[in-house]
Amino acid sequence: MRQSSRSKSSPGISKGWKVLSLFSGGGGLDIGLELAGFETVTCVDNDPESCKTLRHNRPHWEVFEGDIREFTPKGQFDVVVGGPPCQGFSTAGKGNPNDPRNFLWREYFRVVATVKPKAILLENVAGMLNKKNAHHIQEFLESLRSLGYCATYGVLDAAEYGVPQHRKRLIIVAGLGWSPTLPTGSKHFVSAQTAIGDLIASTDAPNHEPNCHAPHVVKRWSKLAEGEVDPNYRRGRIHSTKPSPTIRAGGGHGPRGDHLAGFHPPIHYSLPRQLTVRESARIQSFPDSWIFCGSKTAQGRQVGNAVPPLLAKAIGLSLAEGLSARYKVTSKARVRASANAKSASTEEATV
């Protein structure tokens, strides 16, 4: 699945829906929406390395680097999107219900209440629906309803939307006075080998620097069959003919069960090493043209925390269809106003 070096919007989708992106991270949600015809205007994130990545790849985006609690939106936006930190909700970690990051969705809602966009999109781990976390989503949905939003939500597996990875995420979409729908997936999966097979021989792909593992690790991993897990490091070799398991941002575990710092993705399906940042990014469906900045650990964190762009594109296409249907009169008026502004004559523009 060699990625094109240039992102192209889907045919038939007109650009123009202005996006305010919160908790933007490495930009996966935003470039996916870009592929669906949306236009990101402003990004908000407190991670310096993620902000470097956003500025490097899209210099025209406005990037607010800092605490979202200090962010005040300026201007008008059609859509507010974002994925508040999910470590407290995640089933992969301790899942502490009292983690202060669990409450950052309230900052997301504060911005929504200020901007009053036509639609919102929120992404989080499926664990947000667990019984111990359910009060958060219920409070969020009730808050949206109080502003006149109609919400739809569900758990989507990225593998059903062209992403070579099983990654289940909670997706909430809501419209101001209307109900968006979620896209329907497909069981025609993309395999890991299809996604990253050509990178085995690549020496010039960006963010593609293989780790040099200790000889005993290389020896042990050389014996692993596809799908087999190394009990010492609790990491498995991915299948070549199936989608990869979820790429995670956090460190793995050592032989004594201690937490390892850094980026520790799964093991390559045929090589005795872990996936590189670029291979992991391909598994997440990022195009090779999207360059990750910072240390390898920072790059891996951005990849592992990201919304897969192709999943975001599918959601965006569905959302754009709903927006166009709901605001078709407004859209025509926009086109007419734009044509009038550009015309030097006084003749009325037609649409």
Residues recognised as catalytic: 86
What does the alpha-carbon distance between residue 190 and residue 182 come to, in Å, rounded to a whole number?
A: 21
Determine the Cα–Cα distance for residues 284 and 286; give it in Å rounded to an integer.
Answer: 6
User: How many CB atoms are closer than 10 A to CB 250?
Assistant: 18
Q: Give the list of residues 6+ apart from residue 211 with CB closer than 8 angstroms, or none.
A: 273, 274, 276
Q: Is 35 exposed, middle or buried (0-12, 13-18, 19+ CB in 10 A)?
A: buried
> Cα(64)–Cα(40) distance, rounded to whole angstroms?
13
Written as one string, the DSSP assignment of 30-72 is HHHHHHTT-EEEEEEES-HHHHHHHHHH-TTSEEEES-GGG--
Which among 45, 68, 124 is positioned nearest to 298, based on CA atoms? Answer: 45
- Report the C-alpha gap between 157 and 47 in whole angstroms: 27
Measured in whole angstroms, how far is the alpha carbon of residue 44 from the centre of its chain?
Answer: 14
Instruction: Return the beta strands (E) in 117-196 as ranges.
Output: 119-125, 149-157, 168-176
Q: Judging by DSSP bridges, how do beta strands 79-82 and 168-176 pair with one another? A: unpaired
What values do phi and psi take at 19, rounded to 5?
-115, 135
Helix/strand/coil for 264: coil
Phi, psi of 64 (to 5 degrees): -90, 115
